[in-house]
Amino acid sequence: MKMVKSLLLGSAAGLVAVAGAQAADLPVKAKPVEYVKVCSLYGAGYYYMPGTDICLKLGGYVRYQFTVNPGSSVSFGPFFGAGGRHTRTESQDTAQRVRALITVDTRQQTAYGTLRTYVLLGYTHDTNNAAAPLIYFTRGFIQVAGFTLGKASSFFDIYPNASFGYNVGLMAVPDTGDGGQVVAGYTAQFGNGVSLTIAIEQARAASVVNTTTAASFAVGALPTSNNLGGPGVRSWPDIVGNLRVDQAWGSILIAAALHDASGGYYGATVGTGHPSNEWGWAATIGAIFNLPFIAPGDRFAFQFVYSEGAVRYAALNQPTTGLLGYGSTTVGFGFATDGVYGATPSGVELTTAWSIAAAIEHLWTPALRTSLYGSYLDVSHNAAAKVFMCANGTFLGGGAPGGALCNPDFSYWVIGSRTQWEPTKGWIMGVDVIYSNLDTANTGTGIVAANGNRSATPVGDQSAWTFTFRTQRDYHP
C-alpha cells in the first residue's frame, strides 16, 4: 500500500513538473493576425492594404481574338501603312491576338481630398507583328485635389470607342482611351455633375511637310517626317479645355484644343530659314445618352470634331500620316498632314479635317447585346496648299491643282456592328463586322507610278471588309 501511494505521488509530481516546463515554453502573448479587410468607401472590389489606410483594387482581363483581313495591323486595319499595298509580303489574310493586362487602383483620404493612383500593365502578342510580343504601360497617373498628372485619357474625349466595337482602330474618332495620353490638368467641380478642365497634353502630332523635298508625296507611299512636324516632335504641348456635364441621363462635353503646327526649315540646313510659327486648333461636341425607355442598358453616343492644322483630333488612329489602299486594278490614298509649305518665304498652310462618329447599343437580354456604329472623316486643303502639293513632280506626275489628276482632298468612312454574348458574368464572346471605304485623294483614269511590289496602277476608291471574333474574361469586380 505504501508502495502504491509512493508511485502515485511520484507520478503526480512528474506531471506537474512536465506541465510547468511546457507552460514556460509557451509565448507570453500571441501577436494579433492582420486580416485583409473590405474597404467600402470607393465601391466594390477595394481592400485595405494591411497596416495602412490605403484602399486597393486589382483588375484586368485576358483576351483572345481572331481577325480576317487585318492588313498589316490588327489595330488599324487594311489601309494602314505599307500593308495597304495588300501584297503577300506586307499584309496578311488573317491574324490572331492575345492580350492580357492588370490594373492597380489605390485610393486614400488626405487633407487635400482623395489621393488616387492608377497603373495599367499590359501584354499583347499579334501573329502578324514582327515585334510581338509587346509589354506596355498605357496608364500611370496621380489624381488629387482636382489635378490629374500622368498618362490618362485626353480631356478632349467623350466617345467611348472601345465599348461599341472590336475593330476600333479603323474608326475616325479622337478617342485616346486605349493607348492613353500624357496629361497635366486641373478639373474644377461646380456641383450637379458640372465640371471645367484646363490641361496641357502630349501633342497629337502629324506631319508638317516641306513640299520642295523630293518625293514629299510619292504615289503609293505616305509622307515622311523631314521637319519639325514629324510625328512625336513639337516645340509645345497641346492646350486643351473642356466643359462637361455628367448626370443620370448621360454625359455631354464641349472642348477645344490649341496645337503647335509649325514647320521646320526651307532647306536642309539652319541657314535656309524657316516658316513663322503656326498654331492649329480643334473644337468638339459630344454626348452619351442612356436610353432606358427602349430597354435597360441601351445607350447612344456621338462626337463631332472640326480642326485646322490638328488632323489627329479629327482622327487619332485613322489616319496617323495617311491612308493607302490597293485594289486589283486601282490605287487609292489620302495624305493626312497638319500642314504643308513650300520654298521661302511661304508660311504653313493648315489642313482642314472634320469627323463625326456615332453608335447605338441595344440589350436584347441582360446577357446579349448588339451595337451599330460608324464614322466619317473629311480632309481638305486650301488653294495655296494644293499648289504646293501638286507642284511636286512625284505627286501624280504633277498636274493642275484641283484637276482630275491632282486633288489631294479625300474622305474616309466606316460602318460596323458587334454582337456580344455574356454567358456568365465577366466572360464575353462576340463577333464584329466592319466595312471601311476610302474615297481617294484623286480621281480620273490617269496612270500613276506605284510603290513597292506593285506595278503601275490607275487611281480609284478603295473599300474593305474586316471580321473579328473575340472572347474575353474580365477578372475585376
Query: Which residues on adjacent β-strands are paired with residue 195?
Result: 189, 244
Q: 334 lies in a domain?
A: yes
3 state DSSP class of 170? helix
Q: 359 lies in a domain?
A: yes
Q: What does 355-382 look like in DSSP terms, one character per residue?
A: EEEEEEEEEEETTEEEEEEEEEEEEE--
Residue that is written with C-alpha cell 493607348 in the block: 179
- Give me the domain span that covers residue 304: 58-474
CA distances from 402 to 53, 215, 384, 406, 442 (A): 66, 19, 11, 6, 9
d(CA 93, CA 431): 17
The cell numbers describing 391, all together, are 507642284
pLDDT number for residue 221: 57
Q: 83 lies in a domain?
A: yes
Our count of domains for the chain comes to 1
Q: 7 lies in a domain?
A: no
Q: Are strands 181-191 and 194-201 parallel, antiparallel or unpaired?
A: antiparallel
Output the domain CATH number for residue 299: 2.40.160.10
pLDDT number for residue 312: 93
Of 205, 233, 209, which Cα lies nearest the Cα of 349? 209
pLDDT number for residue 124: 92
Q: 442 lies in a domain?
A: yes
Q: Are 201 and 172 in contact (CB under 8 A)?
A: no
Q: 22 lies in a domain?
A: no
Tens-digit pLDDT string for the chain (477 aa): 454 445 444 554 454 444 454 444 555 555 555 677 999 999 889 999 988 999 999 999 999 999 999 888 888 888 877 667 777 777 888 999 999 999 999 999 999 999 999 999 999 999 876 666 789 889 999 999 999 999 999 999 999 999 999 988 889 999 998 889 999 999 999 999 999 999 999 999 888 888 876 556 655 555 554 444 444 455 789 999 999 999 999 999 999 999 999 888 887 777 788 888 899 999 999 999 999 999 999 999 999 999 999 999 999 876 556 777 777 777 777 888 899 888 778 889 999 999 999 999 999 999 999 999 999 999 999 989 888 887 754 454 444 454 446 788 899 999 999 999 999 999 999 999 999 999 987 765 554 545 555 565 677 788 999 999 999 999 875
Q: For residue 57, how far is the Cα from the chain centroid?
A: 23
d(CA 361, CA 370): 6
What is the CB neighbour count within 10 angstroms for residue 123? 15
Q: 388 lies in a domain?
A: yes
φ, ψ (nearest 5 deg) of residue 270: -60, -35
Q: 14 lies in a domain?
A: no
